[in-house]
Amino acid sequence: MTSITIIRSGSRLGLAAAVAAASLGLAACNSHADDATEKQADAVEQASDNAADAMHDQADQMTGAAADAMDQKAEAVEHEGKATAAALDQKADEQAAQNPH
């Protein structure tokens, strides 16, 4: 299973890199692709939640516009992670329908 680490909290590039690395890991797995995709969806959502939590913690140490901006970035990272996870879940459902066990 591919390990995901987001190096910089709030980095869309970091989240995109994590998703890309995870996708490469899925390409190597031919059996039970739907299970692997569901696990990947969970990992992406967890990684984005962790990154968003870290960003909210950083925002708590700030004041004013900087804190607001950091909170908005955290919400965007969390939203993007959930959207990516939902797309992966949809893909897993499609894979399961195409390859019933």
Residue with more model confidence, 19 or 89: 89
Share of the chain above pLDDT 90, in %: 57
Per-residue pLDDT band for 98 (boundaries 50, 70, 90) equals confident
Which tens digits make up the pLDDT trace of 21-54? 565 554 444 458 889 999 999 999 999 999 999 9
CA–CA dist 18, 48 (Å, integer):
10
Question: Which residue is listed with tokens 């919400």?
Answer: 75
Question: Which residue is listed with tokens 């994590």?
Answer: 18
Return the pLDDT at 11: 59
Closest CA to 36 of 47, 46, 25, 44: 25
Return the pLDDT at 1: 40
Q: Which two tokens stand for residue 96?
A: 């399961």
Question: Which residue is listed with tokens 């140490």?
Answer: 61
**Coil, helix or strand for 54?**
helix
